[in-house]
Homo-oligomer: A and B are copies of this chain.
Amino acid sequence: MTEMSFDSSFAYTEEPLESAAALERRLRAIGAARYHDLHPFHDMLHGGRLDLGQVQAWALNRWYYQSSIPIKDAVVLSRFRDRETRMEWRHRIEDHDGSPGDEGGLDRWLALTTGLGLDEGYVTSARGILPATRFAVDAYVSFVGTRSPLEAIASSLTELFAPNLHERRISGMLAHYDFVHPGIMTYFQRRLGQAPRDAGFALDYVKTHARTPEARALVCEALIFKTDVLWVQLDALYHAYVTGHPPPGAFRPEGAA
């Protein structure tokens, strides 16, 4: 519906996007400047500075993101007439949804929320999530359905930066919280193997298929959009549960004011 423009006020390298190599350098610079590993909520989460209710709020809201990913990936898959790309993309849906008798990422996320003491029915209803979470996640699903197939794939490129974040999350949360144990952190453990494969495919795809500086700029804007989708979710958690302004109708941790 809306146009976005590359935000030139933000200090990336200004190298022109004349080649696939220049595109990759720009993408990595965007990640270094805007990926949500830089967000102060993550510092608090990984450094043991949140209480159980705040970690619950994070896991509850993130459920809505996680549970929308196979939907998002189905929309991406639907954009390709080319059967090879569809076949390549298909495993992402399976990774998250699993199969009968074979757990997927969503089961592993529910192991986390249940392990943190949240009722599974409440979590999957998404009734208590922050409206900002819903709007950001829905914007992501909408983006991949309305932008070009190239931009749809490019918006997945945050996966390039996920493994480092997940490693810090696993070690930090296990070290700092007595309510966290390895059995509820399997989602992140498993993604350490899955994300690099997915990110590698997407990076090769955009490097091959974005053949002009204009197309490469759209790839960069798609990644910026996606970093915004992730950042907004943490800003909303911080405002609601660190600053202490949960909006009407949102989850309130037990024992909170």
Contact = CB atoms under 8 A, between A and B. Distances in A.
A76 B233 CA distance: 29
Contacts of A126: 2
A245 B40 contact: yes
Nearest to A125: B5
Interface stretch (A132-140, A171-179, A187-195): A132-140
A185 interface: no
Contact of A248 (B1, B5, B10, B128): B10
Interface in A91-131: 125-128, 131
Copies assembled: 2
A34 interface: yes
Contacts of A228: 131, 134-135, 247, 249
Contacts of A240: 235
Contacts of A5: 125, 127
Contacts of A245: 40, 235, 238
A231 interface: yes
A243 interface: yes
A231 B131 contact: yes
A107 B236 CA distance: 32
Interface residues of A, number: 40
Contact of A235 (B34, B136, B141, B247): B247
B132 A232 contact: yes
Contacts of A33: 248
Contacts of A232: 131-132, 135, 236, 247
Contacts of A56: none
A186 to B, nearest CB: 27
A134 B248 contact: no
Contact of A127 (B9, B71, B229, B239): B9
Nearest to A67: B2
A7 interface: yes
A249 B141 contact: no
A131, A138, A227: most-surrounded residue (chain B CB, <10 A): A131
A142 interface: yes
A218 interface: no
Contact of A247 (B142, B231, B248): B231
Given A131-B232, A135-B138, A232-B247, 13 more contacts: A1-B142, A2-B138, A7-B249, A9-B127, A10-B248, A132-B235, A139-B139, A231-B247, A231-B248, A235-B236, A235-B239, A235-B240, A235-B245
